[in-house]
Structure formats: C-alpha cells, structure tokens
Structure 1
Amino acid sequence: MDQMFWTYFFVGTTFALYIGIAVWAKAGSTDDFYVAGHDVHPTVNGMATAADWMSAASFLSMAGLIAFLGYGGSVYLMGWTGGYVLLALLLAPFLREFGKFTVPDFVGDRYYSTFARVIAVVCALFVSFTYIAGQMKGVGVAFSGFLGVDFNVGILIGMFIVFVYAVLGGMKGITYTQVAQYCVLIFAYTVPAIFMSMIITGNPIPQLGFIGNAAGTDVSMLEKLNQTVTDLGFLEYTQSNKSMIDIFAITGALMFGTAGLPHVIIRFFTVSSAQAARVSAGWALVFIALLYTTAPAVGAFARLNFIDSVNDATYIAETGPDYSTKAAELTAAGQKPVPQWYKDWEPTGLLKFEDKNGDGIMQYRGPNSPDGIENEVNPNRDIFVLANPQIAQLPGWVIGLVVAGGLAAALSTAAGLLMVISSAVSHDLCRRTFFPDMDDKTELRVARFAAAGAVCAAGLLGIYASQLGFVAQVVAFAFGLAAASLFPIIFLGIFWKRMNKEGAIVSMLVGLISTFGYIYFFKFGGGSPEQYLFGVSPEGIGFVFMFLSIIVGVVVSLMTAPPPQDIQDLVEDIRVPGTRQSHGVADAGMAPAE
C-alpha cells in the first residue's frame, strides 16, 4: 500500500469520525451550543483544551520556525508554554466562577456597561479573525500538500469540513471532536519524531536525541547542525539575529496574549465549577507538554534532513514516469537528483527553485555563503512538519498519519475560534445588546448563521494570510492584539475592585488601536525594521502596548467615579469559590447601567 492510500485512509477515517461526533453531540440548546452544558469532565476538557490550544501554529508552523530560525524560533515555544500556565493559574478559575458564556459577557457585567460589552466584542472579533486566518492558512497547506492542489483550493476544502461540524454541533460537538483530534494530532506528531530521532541520533526518545550525540559519532547533534548550517553561510543554529529586547517582547506578547484569548478562556466555561477548571487546566498542561517538548527536536531534525536532501541536487523539471526515469539516470551517473518529496510538494507553490547561475543544481545557501553562490531554494517553513516523513523516507502510513494530524490541529482551533465569533455576534451583540427579548431558539439559529458566515470570512482571510507571514507569525499578531486589549481589562477586572467602566473602555480602545496600527504600518504601510519602536517587531509590540493599556485604564479609573458597591462585592465573590451568589448577582447577568 502506497503513501497516497494511507493518506486518504487516515484523512477520510478521521473526518468521518469528526462529523459523526458532531451529529451525535448536536447542540439542542444555547447552553449546549455555547458551553457544552457546563458538564464536561475535567480530564476530557483538558484534552479538548489541548487540541484547541495546539493549533496549526503549534503543529505545523512552530517546528518549521524553530528549524529555520533556531534559537530565535524558541520564542514561540517559550511564550505559548508560559502563557498557558499564566492563564490556568491566574485567570481561568475566576472567570469560571463568574459563570458567563463569553469574555464580552464578563466585560459587560463586570463593567456594568453595554458599550464596554460592544468594545469587548470588537476586540474579540479582531483577535479571533486574525488568529483564524493563520489556522485556515494551515488548512490550505495541509490539503494542498496531500491532494497536490493549489493552496487556495485546499482552503476551500477545509472550509467545508469546518462548516459541517462547527455549525451543527456547537461547543458540545466541538468539545468531543477536539478530544478525537487531540488523539490524532499527538500520535501524528510523536510517531515520526521517534523515527527521525532513531535515524539521526540512535535514541528513540526525541527529547533526549535532541540533546544527545549524532548516531555513530562523539559529536552532539546540535554541534553537527551548527557546523552544517555555518558551512552553508547561515547563522549558528543555537544563536539568533533577533535583539534581546525583541525576543523578550515577543515572548511576553505570546504569554499575556494567551491569557486574553477568548477561544481558550471559553473552554473553562464548559466545566461545572472553578475547581474543575483548575483540574482541567492541569490536565491540559500535561497533554500540551507532550507536543511542546517534542517540537525543538522535530525542528532540528527537519533542518538537517532538508539540507541533506536538497542541497546540491540536480533539478528535474519532469514529473511522473519521466521524473523516475531521469532520476534513475542521474543516480546511475553518480549524481544527486532532486528528491521525490520535492516534486510532490512543488505543485502547491510552497517550494521554489530559481536557477540563478543556470547550472541546474539546487544550491541552498545562507546570506554569508562562503563560496559566493546565491541561494536558489526558498521553502515555505509551514510545510516541514508535513513534509518531514517524506524527506526522511519514512513508511507511507506515517506520512498519511501526519497529514491527518496537521488537519486535526488546524481544524480543532478553527472550530474553537468560530465559536467565539458566533457567540460574540448572537449572544453578546444580538441577545445581550440589541434584541434582549430574543428567545433561545432564535438565538441558536442566529449563532449557527453567524458561525456559517464566519467560516466563509475565515477562508478568505486564510487565502490572504500569506501576505502577512508564516502561520505562527500571523497567529502572533492575534496574541499581541489580545495582550494589549483584552488581558488588561480581564486581569484588572478580577484583581482590582476600583477598575471602572470608563477605564475599561479606554484601556481596550488604546490597546487595540495602537497594536493594530503598528502591525498594519509595518506589514502593509511600508514601515522598515529600522523604524521599530524600541527595536520591537510587530510580533512583540502587543507586550509593549499592554503596559500602556494598563496604565491608561488605571489612570482613567482613578480620575472617574468608582464602580457601584455591588460590582465591588462581585469582584470579591469571584475570587472565593462557592460564594458567587452571596450578594444576589445571578448568572443571567445584571442590567447594564447605560
């Protein structure tokens, strides 16, 4: 059985499973659609949270960035890991104690303001649509890779799959679908890592192989990789060309952005209590660690394999049987033909070879090329987790499993983000703001229509996301927006009773507008790195503007009237599990003061 059979087998089987779960867990009420009835077991929720968290950025792009940026790519690993710990310990239990459906729900009631709720909806939509653009780009990479179709066609196929199970099942269907997706993606990530670790280091445990010696030598794997990349004119793998302040800022933006991400926070509303939220957070950390501790090894192995496979290979323009014939002739003549995996990925447009010197040889070089040869090979870094098994010539079933895992990672997070978007429109804007007399049945219908519309918008964003950068970089923008706009008002709303509606509104607006404006200027407005504020790139600027947002919010709050006493009592209550109702504040929320 060949690679294509196994790819179709694993992808077809897993998709049938996801859709079957969505049908089985079809939401019958708004409670089911938004928060899965508040009765998800903590362990199950931990696994679903891990799948929600480990998006296309984690599965597809993070290892690719680490592979090509080396130490500089570790900011994504550090930021996302630390951010989840921050969210789990600092915010999630208290938000669950508050008992709301959504983050804008918390903002609207905590800050006793309809206008604050609307601004929170705008922030959530900005963050979610930016994030989902990266996910749909990952879906396009995965589908285009295994089907051999254009990237944009791959996105359209992914849109249809997400539409079926997200719109039908709501959060209840998504929760149990994400459990299945976690199982698929973690096996898909670790199995090829074990194979590659055995081949390159002789150690079956990737985490140990990463810090061990290369197979059959006394040289460490990282030393070998450093020597390999520097010989080709690249910076040492264990060094970075990013400034220390930029590394710190990107890590901070990812950490604090995690604590403000609506689609992650909403997962903790699906369990029965604040205690259950803490337990599920602990399980989620365990499940996440399985992938995150493996990612550095996958990135390092990918870089070595890619260089060995492509550098100084003779390019063959032909495909199919003609390629096989020409490759055999070159091999017999003692030459190195372009590998089959490269020809498989070439139709996607995600690999490019430009024969600058006309010799037909694929020279892969860095900016400091010692032989003066220009680089001729430009790979998209998002493909490397998917392409790794082919590059390493692993069995066909491993390749098919990885494709299914990549799709599971991208689709699981895309579905969670769609829930945030649909609930923001149907619950926070329609029912809680503009149409307070709306019944549950109508709200559920609006939520499904909103999710369907969001799928279409997400697909278009995914198509244009390639203009912003790699999947992880696009996602980093979403984290920066969340760090600057949502984290400050959630954090201050829980831990500072004096924070009022005026401070919250100004804080969100300052954080959102400043961060979005900075990203837009440097990605679309012609800004150059020499103009970076304090040397901080767009990926990390949300961390800087987060402090500006906090300061502005505090100053405005101190200059205006304090919150009503019942709001201050509410803040006290949500920090003490079990006392949520002691001051007469019902879960249905309070009437806004405006």
Structure 2
Amino acid sequence: MKTFARQLRRYYGWYTGTFLFFVLLLAIGEQMGLSPYVIGHVFLFVTIAIYASIGVMSRTSDVSEYYVAGRRVPAVFNGMATAADWMSAASFIGLAGTLYFAGFEGLAFVTGWTGGFVLVALLLAPYLRKFGQYTIPDFLGARYQGNVARLVGLGATVLASFVYLVAQIYGVGLVTSRFVSVEFEIGLFIGLAGILVCSFLGGMRAVTWTQVAQYVILIVAYLVPVVILSYKLTGIPLPQAMYGTVLAQLTEREEELLKTPGEIEARLQYKYRAQDYASKIADLPGSLEAERRALIDRLNTMRLENAAARDIALTERALRDLPRSPEEAKVIWEKARVAALERARPPPRHADPHPGDTPEQKAIARNNFLALVFVLMVGTAALPHILMRYYTTPGVVEARRSVFWSLFFIFLLYVTAPAYAVFAKWEVYNGVIGSSLSILPDWVASWGKVGMVRIEDINGDGILQLAELTMNTDVIMLATPEIAGLPYVVSGLVAAGGLAAALSTADGLLLTISNALSHDFYYKVVNPKASTHRRLVISKSQLLVVAVVAAWVASMRPDNILFMVGLAFSIGAAAFFPALVLGIFWKRANRAGAVTGMVAGLGVTLYYVWQTHPFFGGSMHNSWFDINPISAGVFGVPLGFLTIIVVSLLTPPPPQEIQDLVDYVRYPQLPNGGPPSQLG
C-alpha cells in the first residue's frame, strides 16, 4: 500500500508540474500574439483530453474496482477526490457570486458546507466504511430489513443526485458556451462527452483518479486570479489576509454610490415601474387588452410614417411577446413587478449581517441564515455521492483520515471565496459603475451575448448606475479576470477550473445514480442472480440514459446553479440524515419507522419547495416562518427524526441480527469476532 501511495505521489507530482508549465507556455504565447480564441479552445480540449486519457487508462471490468475503486485509495488522494467531487460548479462558479451579491449572508454557504464535514467525520464516514458494501441504499436495505427501505433510499438518491447533476451540466454549458464561442446547448454536449469517457469505462476507479487530476486544475485556477488581484490592489499576494483592507474601502464606496443623484433617480424609476405593473395586474383583463391595442395602434402609425425598420421590429417584438391571456399576464407581470421592486431597493451593504429596514426583517434574515447553515451541514453529511467516497478507502482509520484531508483541500477554496467577492465588487464599483455607457469594458458586451449581464439606462442619463446593471450570480467568478483586466490566459485557466469542478462532480453524481439503479434496483431487487458482466452493462447503459436526460433538462436553464445545488442538499438532508444517524446510533429504529420517516421528511421538503419557489409557480406568500425554499430541508429533517422515533416505538423492535449489525458497525469487533450474517 505504501509503495502504491509513493507511485501516486510521483505520478501526480509530474502531472502538476506539467500542467503549470503548460499554463506558462500559453501565457508566453499570449504575449507573442496568440489569440484568446485559440487559448480558450486549447484550455478546453487539452483538459478534457487529460481526463479522458485517465478514464481510458483506468478502465476495468472488476465489480469492486468499478463500484469502490478496489477499496485501496489512500487517505490523501481520497481527500483530493472527495474535494473535487464536492467542489462542484456551485462552489467554484456560484459561491463567489453569492458572496458578491449577498455579502455577509453568503457566508452561510461557507459555514454550512465546511461544518458538514465535521458531521461526516463524527457520525457517518467511519461507520459506513465499517459496514462496507457499495452504496447508501445498501446500508438502508441491510439495516432496515429488505427492499422497501432500499427502494425509498434509491428514489431519494436518484432525485437528489439528479437535481445536483443538472446544475453541474448547466455549469459545463455555461463555461463552454462563453469560452469556446459555441451555442449553450452544444456546449452542454461537449462537456457531456468528457463526463462519459471518465465514468463510463472505469466507474469509481476512473472517476477517482480523474477527480484527483481535476482537483489540481481547479484549485490552481481558483487561486491564481485572486492572488494576482490581491497583489494588484494591496501589494501583497495573500488574498485571504488582505481582503479586509479592501472591504473597508468598499464600504465607503458603497455609501458614496448610493447617494449619487443618478442612482437615486434610477431606483425611483424602478419603483414607478413596479407600481405600474401592480396597477396593470389590478386592472386585468382590461389592462392587457388596452396594452395590445396601444401596441397595434403604435405599429400602424409607425408604418404609415415610414419609421425606422429597427423601431418597427422592436414594436412587433413587444406585441409578439405580450402575454396571450390574463392568467399568463398575471404571472409574467408579477415577476416583473417583483424584479423592479428589488432593483428599486438599495442593495445590502457587503459587511452588514442580516440586513433589513425593520427588526422583523432583520429577524427573518437571521432565521434564513441559520436555516441555510443547518440544511447545508446536514445535507453535506447525507449526500450519497460524497458518502460513497468513503467506501473506497482501505479501512476505517483511512476513512477518518480522508475526511480530514477532504476538509483541508476544501478549506483552501472556501477561505479564498470571500476575497474573490470583495475584490470583484471593488473592481466593478470603481471601474464600471459611473462610467459612460459608450465606453464600457468589453466583458460587459461579451457576457451580455450569453445573457449573463444586462444593462438598462432607465433614467436616460447615459451613465451606468448600480441599479441599472444586472449580473447573473454565476458570472462573477468566470468574469473576474476580465473585470480586473488580467491576461486572457487567466480567464482560460479559470474556465478550465470551472469545467474541472463541474465535470468532477458530474462524474461522481452520474456514477451514484447509475450504480443505484443497476446495483440496488436491478441486482438487489429485480435479478439477484445477474452475472458480473450483466451488472456492469446495466450500470453503463443507465449512465448513458441519465446523462442524456440531465443534459436535456439543463438545456432549459431551469435556475441558477446555487439554488439547484441547495435544493439537492435539502432533499438529501431530509431523506437520509435521520435514517442514517438513527440507524447507526439507535438500535430501536426499525423498518416501519425508517420508511415512514424518509417518506415524510422528503415529502414535506418537496411540498414546501413546490409551494414557495417561483419556478414551480409558488410564492413566498405560502412560506412557513418566511424561510426561503432553498432551506426547505429545515422542516423535513426534524419531521424525519420525529417520525422514525415515534413509529419505531409504536411498532415491534428489529430482530437481534439487526441489532448485531448496529454493534458491528459501531464497535471495533463483536465478542464472537465476526460480522453479522447480513454482511456475509
């Protein structure tokens, strides 16, 4: 084992040095006239080729290698693979943007995600590794006596992982469409090819060694721009320590911008727009018909007067985009009213905790902060694709150590994310806001082409106000090198890092879903006598199907990356955490309690999201205690615990062999020295 670990260190040491040399060559090439178009393509296709090569070299037909990498991954490398599996497109692309817009409130993600690994180390990882086997539904099936609990766990695994997977593939499309200049949908399937080559041939073995390589790229890509920015703004290349000084200057700049006459006028105009939408909604259906008649009259007048073709085209488009029914108008106009009202309000100060104009609003902000921290912590400790990684270590001790290394490698990124947000906001507030619309930087137009940046001169002064600039959360990280005027090779490096983050997590999620369907459903339920070859064929075919379906859903651009990932955490937390923890630490938990607890927790979580999120037609008017839908699991987890405890106490206890299984998982060995019969 030690020889294997030394070989790995040597291989990945050479790999890291070669990658840094490759980036240096591209930087020199840019100085010599290499075009950004070529740099973007080289970064994309070279990195995908690296991952594909590792996937091909790691191909296997051995079941243990395919499902759990042969259980021989050293702790350090399992920590790197887990970190890459964990640091998805949400962490790499979305976290800096969330901290940019939410300020202090965005620290809920950093706190929750980091704290979750403490729960993994204390409550789950070593015990699941002691149990062995391949998947989380495996544990549920053995601990809770049969296929009912297994199938409920299977359904929750597929649902949570699929939502998470869609977010990753969306991130792949976002990166490739911007940096390779292809259509978003085409970019999705370019990235999908890279995902499939890594996971299709070698399963967990290929995914593990690919994720280690991807971690190297993503952490280099994350740190390089912000270190350069730190040196540019403070003279010291240590962003984690220096962003506080920039934050103090940013606070002063925020106050200055919000008091300018142009900014005040712009926000007033958005307030009037919100009031106008409210009036039109109140006057439906008459207001819709009046607007349609007004547009038709304007179009006829413009045609009679031979108006400019562009003006006629814009009016025709406005008429075509007009809602077709009062019901549709109410939904569309309400969204527009809320958006206008949001832009009419001054944004929260970056350093202010729990912002609000009244004590009640501050209390709501605080409650949402705590709810999100809770959901992310518990969800971290319950996501199947993360917990599966601890089946790959040689033993329980290595599983514990790999949690430590996972947390260390994740910490390197998370401790840097707040600096990214502060530096990026400083650059935007000083270099873009207050500029003439005729001389805006090129990045505004380039990201506007993919719909990530929008500008509206609502007060007509020709100057860009803070209220008039709309940026998607996911654009901050990817655009920061351009915002700061860094060489394009840094932008290409960041794109390669974002792609590595999305691909690494997508690989793990795809494998989790396909393994659950092939192992837990087909092999354990449908055909227990299936041969090894047939099980692997089923797993690979399911992997292909799930990948294509996820890409199709991602092509619809369902929501921002961070919300989709947060929803996956709520689903995982509510469905798994109570059943796993009680299954390990409470012998009295039985099948009836676990099944009803998982269904109840998952059901109330999905119901709350359905009732409160606008994507599903919901509204915060339907919320409980004003908790945002991303934190829906805060209701499902306590209900899951309560339901399992109550139902288990009202029904017969599990048999002695199940209680022996709990002892085997929790303690070094049983008095008789062997595992219970469930484990063989």
- TM-score by structure 1 length? 0.89
8 Å Cα contact 1:51/1:412 also seen in 2: yes
* Aligned residue in 2 for 1:356: 458
C-alpha deviation, 1:359, in angstroms? 4.7
1:377 aligned onto 2:499: no
Secondary structure, counterpart of 2:555 in structure 1? helix
Q: Distance in 1 between matches of 2:374 and 2:553?
A: 26
Q: Distance in 2 between matches of 1:246 and 1:361?
A: 36
C-alpha deviation, 1:400, in angstroms? 1.2
Give the alignment partner of residue 206 of structure 2, picking from 173, 180, 183. Answer: 173
Secondary structure, counterpart of 1:348 in structure 2? coil
Q: Distance in 2 between matches of 1:498 and 1:181?
A: 43
Secondary structure, counterpart of 2:454 in structure 1? strand
* Aligned residue in 2 for 1:267: 389
Q: Distance in 2 between matches of 1:12 and 1:530?
A: 47
* Aligned residue in 2 for 1:371: none
C-alpha deviation, 1:301, in angstroms? 1.1
Q: Distance in 2 between matches of 1:361 and 1:581?
A: 79
* Aligned residue in 2 for 1:319: none
Q: Distance in 1 between matches of 2:665 and 2:416?
A: 37
Q: Distance in 2 between matches of 1:352 and 1:344?
A: 11
Which letter does structure 1 place at the counterpart of 2:547?
A: V
Following superposition of structure 1 onto structure 2, how do residues 310-329 of structure 1 map, counting pairs within 5 Å?
A: 310-315=432-437
Q: Distance in 1 between matches of 2:538 and 2:484?
A: 48
* Aligned residue in 1 for 2:572: 482
RMSD: 1.9
Secondary structure, counterpart of 2:61 in structure 1? coil
Which letter does structure 2 place at the counterpart of 1:141?
A: L
Give the alignment partner of residue 524 of structure 2, picking from 421, 432, 444. Answer: 432
Report which of the two structures shows the higher radius of gyration computed on alpha carbons: 2
8 Å Cα contact 1:80/1:255 also seen in 2: yes
* Aligned residue in 1 for 2:280: none
* Aligned residue in 1 for 2:653: 562
8 Å Cα contact 2:132/2:391 also seen in 1: yes
1:223 aligned onto 2:256: no
1:162 aligned onto 2:195: yes
Secondary structure, counterpart of 2:428 in structure 1? helix
Distance 1:228 1:205, change over 3 A: farther
1:22 aligned onto 2:55: yes
Q: Distance in 1 between matches of 2:623 and 2:227?
A: 41
* Aligned residue in 2 for 1:88: 121
Following superposition of structure 1 onto structure 2, how do residues 457-536 of structure 1 map, counting pairs within 5 Å?
A: 457-464=549-556, 466-467=557-558, 469-523=559-613, 524-536=615-627
C-alpha deviation, 1:578, in angstroms? 5.0
1:397 aligned onto 2:397: no
**Which whole-Å deviations, capped at 9, do the CAs of 1:252-275 have from their partners, x for residues lacking one?**
001001111000000000111111
1:255 aligned onto 2:384: no
Following superposition of structure 1 onto structure 2, how do residues 55-74 of structure 1 map, counting pairs within 5 Å?
A: 55-74=88-107
**Which whole-Å deviations, capped at 9, do the CAs of 1:329-388 have from their partners, x for residues lacking one?**
xxxxxxxx11111222222121222333445443322xxxxxxxxxx2211110111110
C-alpha deviation, 1:198, in angstroms? 1.4
Following superposition of structure 1 onto structure 2, how do residues 128-147 of structure 1 map, counting pairs within 5 Å?
A: 128-147=161-180
Distance 1:60 1:525, change over 3 A: closer
1:277 aligned onto 2:399: yes
Which letter does structure 2 place at the counterpart of 1:474?
A: M
**Which whole-Å deviations, capped at 9, do the CAs of 1:436-479 have from their partners, x for residues lacking one?**
11111100010001111111121123223x43x32111100110
Following superposition of structure 1 onto structure 2, how do residues 563-578 of structure 1 map, counting pairs within 5 Å?
A: 563-577=654-668
* Aligned residue in 2 for 1:368: none
How many residues get paired? 552
* Aligned residue in 2 for 1:102: 135
8 Å Cα contact 1:566/1:583 also seen in 2: no
Secondary structure, counterpart of 1:203 in structure 2? coil
C-alpha deviation, 1:580, in angstroms? 11
Secondary structure, counterpart of 1:381 in structure 2? coil
Which letter does structure 2 place at the counterpart of 1:484?
A: A
Secondary structure, counterpart of 2:537 in structure 1? helix
Give the alignment partner of residue 236 of structure 1, picking from 330, 342, 349. Answer: 349
Q: Distance in 2 between matches of 1:203 and 1:474?
A: 36
Q: Distance in 2 between matches of 1:49 and 1:156?
A: 25
- TM-score by structure 2 length? 0.78
8 Å Cα contact 1:210/1:221 also seen in 2: no
8 Å Cα contact 1:477/1:539 also seen in 2: yes
Distance 1:424 1:499, change over 3 A: same
Which letter does structure 2 place at the counterpart of 1:528?
A: S
Q: Distance in 2 between matches of 1:508 and 1:496?
A: 16
* Aligned residue in 1 for 2:223: 190
8 Å Cα contact 1:55/1:135 also seen in 2: yes
C-alpha deviation, 1:285, in angstroms? 1.1
